[in-house]
Structures are given as C-alpha cells and as structure tokens.
C-alpha cells in the first residue's frame, strides 16, 4: 500500500516543481509602454519628458533583438523643442544560474530634434552594454548594466564617448503583467523611466 502511494506523491509534486522553476524565468520577449524623463546637466538642468515604447524578442535560447522609440519635449527657452529617439539592437544572454543571466548588447541610436522656427537636426550613436539581469523573488527582477555610448550626441568635448550605468527593476503583479522602472546615470544626463510591461 505505502509503495503505491509514494510514486503517486512524486508524480503529483512534479508539476509544482515545474511551476516553481518557471516562476524564476526571465522573459526576453515583451512590449513596454513608458513615461521617460531626461535631465541634461550640461545645459542648465533642462529636462525632456514624454512617452516611450520599447520591446524585445527572444531569438532561440541565447539571443534577442530589441528596439524602441521615445519622444520628449521642452519649452524652457521660450521655444518648443521636440526630440525623438530611436534605438535598435541585439543582445546575448549567458545563463549563470536559475536566477541570473549575464547580458551583452550592441545597439544603434538615432536622435532627431525639431526646434520651433529654427529647423531640424539629427545624429547617430552606437552603444555597447554589459550587465546582469537577475530574479530576486518570484515577483521581482533586477537589472544592472554599464553602457558605453559614442557618436554625434554622446561624445564629450574631446570627442570621446560617455560611460553610464543603468539600474532597473521589474515588479510582476500578474503572470504576464508588470511595472518597470529604470535610472541611467552618467555622462551629462540623468534619465528616469517608468512603465508597464507585458511579457509573452
């Protein structure tokens, strides 16, 4: 009698173990709607804020593609300034443990600015990032990465690129839904982002 109960209990426990393993999985396929704010420290603490949309698609077990668009506006100088930024790139994830991945990303950024009565301008930058994405609890995920960006807009006065650090969190309130927040510090700006994410 006891010999027949033990295998049945083990079989019943297998689905629970599978669910627990899935709880710590990190989805690389998602879409996210954000509010973004960028403070430019080198021009008198001017800030640009507006909506943003970004997403990511997993390609196999190790690669993913990501992209996004964000808009910001400012009228502190008596002129309406609208900035639109596009980003498109790819990433590689290296499995470290059940709770953590090492990530490496390369992306291209295009920034377009429109100044009222003065015209338009645009520039291109390239960004490389390395960091760790980890699950700290079933409902909480963290992100830390270092970025190096160089090109038309993210270069210092001597022509070198800028380093920055990104710290982020993803808090799930439903199996596919979550709230996200990120802060990027470094260079001549500080950026804040709050959003809602749907993971597939």
In a domain, 161, yes or no: yes
**Per-residue confidence (pLDDT) for residue 159, from 0 to 100:** 58
> Is there a domain that residue 167 lies in?
yes
Residue 95, domain CATH: 2.40.160.20
CB 66 within 8 A of CB 53: no
| Domain contains 75 | yes
Bridge partners of residue 68, in order along the sequence: 54, 87
Looking at residue 157, its pLDDT comes to: 45
Does residue 20 lie in a domain region? no
Residue 77 lies in a domain: yes
Over the range 94-123, which residues count as b (16 or more CB within 10 Å of their CB) and which as e? eeeeeebbebebebebbbebeeeeeeeeee
Query: Does this model's pTM top 0.85?
Result: no
In a domain, 102, yes or no: yes
- Give pLDDT, residue 25: 76
pLDDT at 24: 60
pLDDT of residue 19: 36
d(CA 28, CA 155): 30
State residue 21's pLDDT score: 41
The half-sphere exposure of 150 on its side-chain side, counting CA atoms within 13 A, is 7
Give the pLDDT score at 116.
80
**Counted domains in the chain:** 1
Closest CA relative to residue 83, chosen from 191, 166, 180:
191
Cross-strand pairs, 37? 49, 192
The distance from CA 68 to its chain's CA centroid, rounded to whole angstroms, is 9
Low-confidence ranges of the chain (pLDDT < 70): 1-24, 42-45, 154-159, 187
Q: For residue 14, tell me if it sits in a domain.
A: no
In a domain, 140, yes or no: yes
Q: Which domain holds residue 182?
A: 27-199
């Amino acid at each position: 009698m006891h010999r027949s109960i033990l295998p049945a209990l083990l079989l019943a426990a297998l689905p629970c173990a599978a669910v627990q393993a899935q709880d710590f999985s990190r989805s690389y396929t998602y879409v996210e709607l954000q509010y973004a704010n960028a403070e430019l420290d080198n021009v008198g603490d001017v800030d640009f804020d507006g909506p943003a949309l970004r997403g990511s698609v997993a390609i196999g077990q190790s690669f993913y593609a990501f992209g996004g668009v964000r808009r910001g506006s400012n009228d502190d100088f008596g002129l309406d300034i609208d900035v639109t930024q596009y980003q498109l790139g790819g990433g590689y994830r290296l499995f470290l443990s059940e709770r953590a991945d090492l990530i490496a990303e390369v992306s291209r950024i295009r920034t377009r600015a429109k100044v009222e009565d003065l015209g338009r301008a645009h520039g291109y930058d390239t960004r490389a990032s390395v960091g760790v994405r980890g699950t700290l609890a079933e409902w909480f995920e963290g992100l830390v990465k270092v970025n190096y960006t160089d090109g038309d807009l993210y270069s210092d006065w001597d022509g070198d690129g800028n380093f920055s650090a990104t710290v982020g969190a993803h808090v799930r309130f439903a199996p596919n839904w979550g709230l996200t927040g990120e802060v990027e510090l470094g260079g001549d700006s500080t950026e804040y982002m709050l959003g809602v994410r749907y993971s597939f």
